Structure 1
Amino acid sequence: MQLPLGTGTVDVSLPDCEVRTVERPGGETVDPAAAARAALDSPHGPSLASRVDPGDDVTVVVTDVTRATPDDVLVEAMLDRLPDCEVSILVGLGLHRPMTDAELRAGLGEYADLAVNHDPEATVEVGTVDGLNGEAVPVRVHPLVAEADCLLSTGMVEPHQYAGFSGGAKTAAIGAGDGSLIGYTHGPEVLSHPNVRLGRIEDNPFREVVDRAGDAIGLDFCLNVTKGPNGFLGASAGRPRAVVADLAETARAALSVPLSDTFDAVIGGVGAPKDANLYQTTRAPTYLVLGDHNPVRPGGRVVVPARLPEGVGEGTGERRFYERLRTATSADALYEAMRAGYDPGAQRAFVVARTLREADVYVTNSERPEVVEECLLHAADRVEDAVDPGCDVLVVPDALNTLLVSA
């Protein structure tokens, strides 16, 4: 069998194991440019053109290199509907590293010259939103967001560990925000809530706080896409909540796999762009173990092939994640320590600790095995080296875009 590795694949053979590979329902694929135009023709709420006056300052917040969003296509579709106005593009990094000039050109094409990377240290406060227990959570965003006459965003509605599905207000509210909102929504109180889980947007407090933050910053309109096993499945435009609900329904139908069995080893594929660093790669084991159905037997393991050319990652969040894992003595000790709180960005270490209390995690085929070993995980040269002979094995070729649901 072949599994994703970077922009290519790796061959894996487990002749001494009983292997089952999940197959998602999939769905009919669409051309993202045509789907984007069709979505703009039938938006949720008022049309894009009706929201913008000639001469307005318009800011479009786009996704960063960690999302496989066709931002150039989505930006072009929106700009074609705008009157003559001043347009800025802000890359919604959150606490991730800035995109390089080459990455901006690859992601935005002719619109790269309009783009600037978000700086979470240079934000202005626009108000507060109610948190989980009614507490006031500050909302601070980049000046290009705070001062825009019209705020737009792109996004990818895909399974997300905390938001249920990403996209909607998250691109702008989190991507263009600072540590205050990120720290609150990614803190232990929110992430420990039973409704904060992969694939769930209904009654999800993470999603609700982010959506309220989108209201506070004046996110007027978004254009998002979703994708399945073979390509893009659709686009939706207009009011952010409706856009996410629309595309989440499409994604669930394409990505859900009913399952009742458990296995000795679960192999999860990641591939580019998520396997560029360990921070993003660990989404695979956490998505698998902490989702609706945990397929790993007690004492079992998750195995993930990943290149890791950036090592642990280069952003503020990635470094905080690394320090927490690198200095931990055990998963149990790390989990208990982090329940008291942690800096924004370190939340991935918290959910990794939760995962490691349920299963071991092996990362194979990487360029940085020493970083893997520093972070309470196991490194192996090949997938075959991480799976014992005679194991029952489940293979999830696209772990980040598969929803294992209880049968």
Structure 2
Amino acid sequence: MADFVVPLGDGTVSVALPDCDVTVADPPGGEAIDVRETAVAAVREPNGPKLAELVGADDTVAIVVTDITRATPDDALVDVLLSELERVGVYREQVTIVVGLGLHRPMTDDELDAMLGEHADLAVNHDPEDTVEVGEIDGTPIELHRRVAMADRVLSTGMVEPHQYAGFSGGGKTVAIGAGGEPLIRYTHGPDMLSKEGVRLGSIEDNPFREAVDEAGDMCGLDFCLNVTHGPAGILDVAAGLPRLVVRDLAESAQEALSVDIEDGYDAVIAGVGAPKDANLYQATRAATYVILGATNPLRRGGRVVVPAELPEGAGAGTGEQRFYKWLSGADSANALYEEMRSGYEPGAQRAFVVARALRDHEVYVTNSEAPDVVEECLMHAKGSVEDAVEPGSDVLVVPDALNTLLR
């Protein structure tokens, strides 16, 4: 197979590699579900106490949701939570929706409208400067958005998907990182944590990063979460209730749907991203690091990763994205940057550390982008098309959805 399509922005781009031997890594994918119907059932029969057992009619409630970098169907999930809260006597005027940005940029009003629909008026962007301390881990303060800390009950939505450090995202991470302060991000995303045994993509068992964000989620008072997982077919499963149990259930669903057995020794891996993750280089580089630093690296020595990505936001506009750009664009080489960053860096810059780690062994090419200069400044290579980035005669592995494929 030499002709194929890969994601690019909200669409796809056609690729023709007639001189190459091409293999496509297609995970089983699972079957798409009706999100609203399944979410209602999950909330009514959760893993743990029901909302009616947790929330009183006079309680104020904070619902922490993911931001635009996660393709979570928050319009449906929030609507289901609000409907269930109303059933127990809690009305929308008692609810605040906090968008868990971490150190990403604030969402615009138009983006909030698109994400939350009729409930956008309840939403506020997280501000990491407007937090209060709610506990500590290993001497690290756990800070939480003031509105969330003041609420009587804390709920969250989220996406349980493969994550470079936590194994899978979702659960307590949405609140503790998304609506938290810089100290926890510095602790969990620092070089000491990221170098620990067990901190890796696709594994939550004995994962120190996952354990830290779960513990922090407890300190943040997260009572109940409603999470989903997805694959090539769309949303595959929904679970609700106690955060740890929800993540475990959905991680099992994701592993079953997203794992692919592959050979190694490829000259190039074409790693698809698509919207919303290809909006900026910070997010799009996940495709390369997931391939190179995952459980199984399919590349031969000297092989390359090719990432088609539009990058309308360039490196990215958030604090973390700008720190990522500053470190990479100011470096002379990946090896030098990796060694320098091992002594520490600011929260948000961890993606530069992980990219540098990957670039020590493999080159990364970003194609079809609106920001080729930014790519070149960040120790990577910019090409106009995938074809331009793949040498004739290469043995090529295509991973159409690199962020949601577990290579093993």
- TM (norm. structure 1) is 0.97
How many pairs are equivalent?
A: 400
- Is the contact made by 1:126 and 1:139 (CA closer than 8 Å) also made in structure 2? yes
Residue 46 of structure 2 is matched in structure 1 by 43
- Is the contact made by 1:123 and 1:142 (CA closer than 8 Å) also made in structure 2? yes
Shift of 1:144: 1.1
Q: Say which is worse superposed, 135-144 or 113-122, in terms of deviation.
A: 135-144
Distance in structure 2 (CA, Å) of the matches to 1:165 and 1:49:
28
Amino acid at match of 1:13: A
Distance in structure 2 (CA, Å) of the matches to 1:261 and 1:359:
14
Q: 1:236 aligns with which of 239, 257, 265?
A: 239
Q: 1:349 aligns with which of 349, 352, 357?
A: 352
Distance in structure 2 (CA, Å) of the matches to 1:80 and 1:252:
31
Residue 393 of structure 1 is matched in structure 2 by 396
Shift of 1:84: 2.5
Residue 254 of structure 1 is matched in structure 2 by 257
Q: Deviations over 1:19-41 (max 9, x none)?
A: 10011111122011111011112
Matches within 5 A, 1:104-115: 104-115=112-123
SS at 2:17 equivalent: coil
Amino acid at match of 1:160: H
Residue 132 of structure 1 is matched in structure 2 by none
Shift of 1:48: 1.1
SS at 1:254 equivalent: helix
Q: 1:314 aligns with which of 314, 317, 328?
A: 317
SS at 1:3 equivalent: strand
Matches within 5 A, 1:144-293: 144-293=147-296
Amino acid at match of 2:403: L
Distance in structure 2 (CA, Å) of the matches to 1:356 and 1:261:
18
SS at 1:75 equivalent: helix
Q: Which ranges of structure 2 fall in alignment gaps of 5 or more residues?
A: none
SS at 2:343 equivalent: coil
Q: Say which is worse superposed, 135-144 or 60-69, in terms of deviation.
A: 135-144
Whether 1:126 aligns to 2:134 is yes
Residue 303 of structure 2 is matched in structure 1 by 300
Query: Once superposed, which parts of structure 1, at least 4 consecutive aligned residues long, lie more than 6 Å away?
Result: none
SS at 2:407 equivalent: strand
Residue 339 of structure 1 is matched in structure 2 by 342
SS at 2:84 equivalent: coil
Q: Deviations over 1:278-298 (max 9, x none)?
A: 000000000000000001111
SS at 1:349 equivalent: helix
Residue 103 of structure 1 is matched in structure 2 by 111
Residue 20 of structure 1 is matched in structure 2 by 23
SS at 1:259 equivalent: coil
Whether 1:84 aligns to 2:90 is yes
Amino acid at match of 2:124: V
Distance in structure 1 (CA, Å) of the matches to 2:112 and 2:182:
24
Amino acid at match of 1:376: L
Q: Deviations over 1:331-381 (max 9, x none)?
A: 000000000000000000000001001100000000010000000000000
Shift of 1:255: 0.2
Amino acid at match of 1:292: A
- Is the contact made by 2:272 and 2:399 (CA closer than 8 Å) also made in structure 1? yes
In percent, how many aligned pairs have the same letter? 67
Shift of 1:125: 0.5
- Is the contact made by 2:39 and 2:226 (CA closer than 8 Å) also made in structure 1? yes
- Is the contact made by 2:95 and 2:122 (CA closer than 8 Å) also made in structure 1? yes
- Is the contact made by 2:25 and 2:262 (CA closer than 8 Å) also made in structure 1? no
Matches within 5 A, 1:28-67: 28-67=31-70
Shift of 1:56: 0.9
Whether 1:93 aligns to 2:96 is no
- Is the contact made by 1:260 and 1:293 (CA closer than 8 Å) also made in structure 2? no
Q: Which ranges of structure 1 fall in alignment gaps of 5 or more residues?
A: 130-134
Distance in structure 1 (CA, Å) of the matches to 2:69 and 2:181:
18
Distance in structure 1 (CA, Å) of the matches to 2:280 and 2:183:
25
SS at 1:244 equivalent: helix
SS at 1:198 equivalent: coil
SS at 1:35 equivalent: helix
Whether 1:327 aligns to 2:306 is no
SS at 2:312 equivalent: coil
Amino acid at match of 2:133: E
Distance in structure 1 (CA, Å) of the matches to 2:265 and 2:168:
25
Distance in structure 2 (CA, Å) of the matches to 1:15 and 1:158:
34
